[in-house]
Amino acid sequence: MVSPPIWLARLADRVAAEMHSVDIPPPIGCHYYFNKVSDQWEVSLFAANTETIGGERDGCVSYSRFGLDLKELMTAFDEIATCSWQALSLGSDDEVGPHVSLEGTFEGHNVWLRVLAQPPARFRTGRYLKAYELRFEDAW
């Protein structure tokens, strides 16, 4: 597997710093893809979901609650071409779902950033709440 470019790690860290968790901060997932047709990096960040193990909520999965400081997020970019918010999923084939979207340049790279309200279904659980041990365990 090829490692992501160094600048992409800086972008992900900068975005994650503006994701302010209401709960105990979860792991942050990042999916990226370089689209040769549009000459653009597509980057999606999302907070991990949590599965409870043990207790009366055993097997229940919950999404992490967080706020996003848009003003600070926008200062990370050299330039911003578009900024938008998708409030609801557009349908059963919309893997991204509700998200904030920014298109612009980061350190000279053409980027389409999306910060998702919840992780796409294809990503496995990011952490576990071990109910009987009263602790979290990160899965990624």
Q: What is the pLDDT of residues 52-82, one digit of tens each?
A: 999 999 999 999 999 999 999 999 999 999 9
Q: Give Cβ neighbours of residue 19 (< 8 Å, ≥ 6 apart).
A: 28, 45, 47, 66, 67, 68, 115
How does DSSP classify residue 107?
T
Q: How confident is the model at residue 1 (pLDDT cuts 50, 70, 90)?
A: low
Residue 103, φ and ψ in degrees, nearest 5? -120, 135
State the pLDDT at residue 32. 97
pLDDT in tens, 9-35: 999 999 999 999 998 899 999 999 999
pTM: 0.92
DSSP alpha helices (H): ranges in the chain? 6-17, 70-75
Work out the average pLDDT over 37-59.
Answer: 97
Task: Tell me: pLDDT of 93 over 80.
Answer: yes
Select from 7, 11, 3 the least CA-distant residue to 74: 11
CA atoms 14, 101, 119, 44: torsion sign: negative
